[in-house]
Structure formats: C-alpha cells, structure tokens
C-alpha cells in the first residue's frame, strides 16, 4: 500500500504517503519547484523548514533543460540536490491555462506553441508519462484537460471524456523505479460530471487521485462545495490531492473535506511581491507602518526571518529591492503553511479538528492589511 490512514476526525484525515524517497505525513503542503528549484531557496533550507515533498513541472523541465539531460545527470533528485520525495505534474495545466498558445486538442493529444520559442509542440499521454519516467519523480501525474471556469457544459463533458481516455492509456506505461501514478478528476463545478469523472478513473485503480480544474478563478463557495462532492467520490484508501491551492484559509477548508495533499506557488510568489502570511492576515511589508516595528513577522514563528530579524529590517530590505528580503519572506511564508498543516494533523489526531479549524479560520479572518491601512 502506498498510503495509510492513521487518524480521522469527521472527513479530515491524517495519513502517510509512502514513496521511494521516504514517507510523507499528510495533510501535506508541497512547495512548488517549477524549474527544479523553489525560487531563491536551497534544498537544505527547505528541509529545515519542514518540507517533506516538492513539486516539479513537467512542461518547463521538458523544454529547459530537457528530460534527457536530467536523466543523464542522475534524475531530478540528483539534478536539483533534493533527496526527498518529488511529485511532477503532467504539463496539462500549463498547456491548457496558457490558452493563447493552444493550437488544437483531440483524442490523441494536444498541440500548442512553446512559451520559450513559439514552436509548435505536441503533448500526448504517452509523452507526459515518458518525461516523468525519465525525470524519476516519486509521483507522476496523468495528462489531463484543465478548463477555465464558465465554459459550456459540453466542453467540460469532452474534457472529462478525454481525461479518462488519456488516463486509460497511461495506466500501465513504464514507470521509474517505485514511481506512483495519480489520475486527475475533472468536471468543473458540475457535480454529475465530477461523479462521472471519478467513476471512470477509480475503475482504473490508480495509486492516488487528484481533484483538478478547481481554484482556477471560480468563486470560493461553489469551489469548496465542488471539492466536498469530488472528494466523496474518491476511494477512502487512496491519497487525495487538490491541485493548486495554497492560501491558509483554502488549505484548512480542503483538509476539512478529506483532502490529503495540495500545492501552490502562492507562498513564494506572495513573498516576491513583498508580502508575509501571518495570523494577522497578509502583511504588505512595503507599508510605512512597519518602518520602526521591532516585532517579528509573526509571533511564535521559528523561521529564520522571525527568529533573527524585525519587521522594520525586512521592510527596509524589501523597499531597497534587496534579494535577502524576498528570500526571508519566502522562508517565512513556506514555514507558515508547513506549520499550519502540521497543526492540522495534530488536531485530527487528537479529535479536535473542528474546534481547531474554526479557531484558525476566525484568526485568519481578522481585518486585512488593506482594512488596517488608512
């Protein structure tokens, strides 16, 4: 078994994902290393923060430097100097979200223009699987079709059909040693299509299942309702992965709905805009009110930014465009989310998730930076 459940509290779960490069306690947040790096951070720093699994991007690594180069140099783990588990996405999100580059999609695959040189390229389920086999990731995702919100139902229905068809073709393709393969459910906010997608993919008995096609711009309430329905359609004994959510409130909400894994660029991208995730809300560190603030970013946080530096100093770094400021904010934001999921797991284990999550969401709902600023 690649996944074991150690505790439940309502629909929230605490488990362990077993991979070729180590065990991953869940709920688990995966920092995003798009191009074989989490921007500006060293793998040792990520490990110290509490990172247990990273995400790499099949689309970008295929084009730069190429999976053949990475394989020749020992695989993705050796290439990026990370000896822990790695999940690679399939490239489908990049292909379908960069809609101005999309040329054609059919039952065989999808044709698009590369964001690097504009050349016409084609992804098929077989190619997506082979790239990830060459990369040697611990978890490989099936190629899927991810559509934006608001598309006609017939488009969603076609995406579900093709995603299932492609999954069938990837199910038994060669894998890297110990590599797990996850399928991705689609269907947007349509409950019937979500159920149909899950039914077709669950019958194929993958190692795990992702909820795709949400958190792509739709309103939050219907997104969470769709998550509840989608998670309920997936096998209880297999890991569940919500693709692309990383704000603290969202993470808590999907954990409460039975999701085990999630990823997002939000913590590091937010850091690069000069903002910190805290229990006071999101703080814009460029704000003048922090100019003489002697406090850490967040009381009680054990990250390098909070244990050594003041808000005043970090504001100074950010406003002077010093790389250290953005690095410190990246370290802090990742630690904030990683600590959050550890606390969620502990609450599940002691049967107190409902009260813990209610308290956490109430704290996070305090006035935002914008509301606090005159």
CATH of the domain spanning 3-264: 3.20.20.105
Structure tokens at 111: 């044709």
Q: Is 42 a catalytic residue?
A: no
Q: pLDDT, tens digit, for every residue of 267-319? A: 999 999 999 999 999 999 999 999 999 999 999 999 999 999 999 999 999 99
Q: Tell me the helices (H) and strands (E) count for the chain, helix number first.
A: 16, 16
Q: Is 263 a catalytic residue?
A: yes
**Proportion of the chain in helix, strand, coil states, percent, rounded to 5:** 45, 20, 35
Q: Are 285 and 315 in contact (CB under 8 A)?
A: yes
Provide the pLDDT for residue 373.
44
Distance CA 91, CA 218 (A): 21
Domain ranges in the chain? 3-264, 271-366
Distance CA 64, CA 349 (A): 42
Task: Tell me, letter by letter, the H, E, C secondary structure of 144-182.
Answer: CCCCCCCCCHHHHHHHHHHHHHHHHHHCCCCCCCCCEEE
Provide the pLDDT for residue 368.
54
Q: What are phi and psi of 183, to 5 degrees?
A: -95, 160
Catalytic residue among 138, 190, 260, 263: 263
Q: Are 289 and 346 in contact (CB under 8 A)?
A: no
Distance CA 58, CA 44 (A): 23
CA 225 to chain centre: 19
Provide the pLDDT for residue 290.
98
DSSP codes of every residue in 25-82: EESEEEEEETTSS-TT--HHHHHHHT---EEE-HHHHHHTT-HHHHHHTT-HHHHHT-
Spans in the chain with pLDDT lower than 70: 367-374
Residue 103 CB: number of other CB atoms within 10 A?
11
Nearest CA to 182 out of 197, 173, 171, 196 is that of 171
Distance CA 364, CA 262 (A): 19
Q: Residue 319, class by beta-carbon neighbours within 10 Å (0-12 exposed, 13-18 middle, 19+ buried)? A: middle
Catalytic residue among 9, 89, 190, 247: 89
């Amino acid at each position: 078994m690649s996944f074991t459940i150690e505790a439940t509290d309502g629909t929230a779960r605490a488990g362990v994902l077993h991979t070729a490069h180590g065990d991953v306690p869940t709920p688990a947040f995966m920092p995003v290393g798009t191009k074989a790096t989490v921007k500006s951070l060293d793998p040792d720093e990520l490990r110290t923060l509490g990172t247990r699994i990273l995400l790499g991007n099949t689309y970008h690594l295929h084009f730069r430097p190429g999976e053949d180069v990475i394989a020749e140099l020992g695989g993705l783990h050796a290439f990026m100097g990370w000896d822990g588990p790695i999940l690679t996405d399939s490239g489908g999100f990049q292909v379908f979200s960069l809609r101005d580059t999309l040329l054609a999609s059919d039952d065989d695959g999808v044709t698009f223009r590369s964001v690097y040189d504009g050349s016409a390229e084609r992804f098929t389920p077989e190619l997506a699987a082979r790239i990830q086999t060459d990369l040697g990731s611990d978890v490989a995702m099936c190629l899927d079709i991810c559509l934006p919100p608001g598309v006609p139902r017939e488009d969603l229905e076609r995406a579900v059909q093709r995603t299932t068809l492609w999954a069938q073709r990837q199910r038994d393709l060669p894998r890297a040693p110990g590599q797990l393969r996850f399928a991705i459910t689609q269907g947007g906010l349509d409950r019937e299509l979500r159920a149909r997608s899950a039914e077709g993919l669950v019958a194929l008995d993958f190692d795990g299942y992702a909820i795709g096609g949400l958190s792509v711009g739709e309103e939050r309430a219907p997104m969470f309702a769709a998550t509840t329905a989608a998670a309920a359609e997936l096998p209880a004994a297999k890991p569940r992965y919500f693709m692309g959510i990383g704000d603290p409130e969202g993470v808590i909400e999907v954990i409460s709905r039975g999701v085990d894994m999630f990823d997002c660029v939000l913590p590091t991208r937010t850091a690069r805009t000069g903002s910190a995730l805290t229990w006071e809300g999101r703080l814009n560190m460029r704000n003048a009110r922090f100019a003489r603030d002697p406090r850490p970013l967040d009381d009680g946080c054990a990250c390098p930014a909070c244990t050594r530096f003041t808000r005043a100093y970090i504001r100074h770094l950010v406003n002077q465009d010093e790389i250290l400021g953005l690095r410190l904010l990246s370290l802090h934001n990742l630690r904030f989310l990683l600590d959050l999921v550890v606390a969620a797991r502990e609450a599940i284990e002691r049967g107190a998730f409902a009260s813990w999550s209610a308290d956490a969401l109430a704290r996070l709902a305090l006035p935002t930076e914008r509301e606090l600023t005159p």
